[in-house]
Structures are given as structure tokens and as C-alpha cells.
Amino acid sequence: MNKKGAPMNIVGVAACTAGIAHTYIAKEKLENAARKRGHKIHMETQGVIGVEDALSSGEIETADVVILATDVSISGKDRFEGKKVVEVPTETVVMSPNKLIEKIEELV
């Protein structure tokens, strides 16, 4: 829950250098950690096969926070202008997804 005790609506993008393993591991770990704490989450991936699970403009608009778990530049970063954005390396997400979600709860 966020500081107000309400579940958060989270969107994000995962992208690693190779665009293969860490991208999908980060996505899965974030989704599991967020859902375990009662939040709604949708993660887009950007990798060697392009964009998958693309975020809609409506999802971005209603998001409380955007998580960018990236090791490389991503396309469409400007979509998140005006939103609370947390940028972390994919390794942080892979190693400590629960702590990351808890930290974000304190910020939002």
C-alpha cells in the first residue's frame, strides 16, 4: 500500500543490455512483488524482439508510478513525462524486488 494505505497502480518498462534474460526476469519479479503487496502492475518489455506487452496511454495516464528497470536507453521514455518515475538497473530488480516495491510505497 502507498503512504495513504491504498493499492498503487504501477506501470513500467524492463530492458537489459542483451534484451533477453534480465529483461524478462525483472518483469516477472516486479509483477510478483507488486501483486503480492496488493498492487496492480503492467510491465512492458523492450528487447531483441522489440516491444512486448506495450503500455497503453490509458494505463500510463492512470498510473501512480512508473518503474523503469533498464540498463539501456528505451524508446518512448517521453510517454512518462509528468509522472513519478523510478529508474533502477535490472540487477536491482532481480536481486531485491520486494525491497524496491516497499521503497516505492514510501515515496508514493
Q: Does 16 qualify as catalytic in the annotation?
A: yes
| pLDDT at res. 18 | 80
Examine the pLDDT at 2 and tell me if it is beyond 80. Answer: no
C-alpha cell at 99: 525491497
Examine the pLDDT at 91 and tell me if it is beyond 80. Answer: yes
Q: Which domains does the chain have, with CATH numbers?
A: 9-90 (3.40.50.2300)
Examine the pLDDT at 5 and tell me if it is beyond 90. Answer: no
Helix (H) or strand (E) holding 52, with range, is: strand 50-52
pTM for this prediction: 0.94
* Spatial separation of the C-alpha atoms in residues 20 and 30, rounded to whole Å: 16
Sheet of 65-70, strand order: 50-52, 40-47, 9-15, 65-70, 85-88
Q: What is the pLDDT of residues 43-58, one digit of tens each?
A: 999 988 899 999 999 9
> Annotated catalytic residue: which of 8, 14, 15, 16?
16
| pLDDT at res. 107 | 86
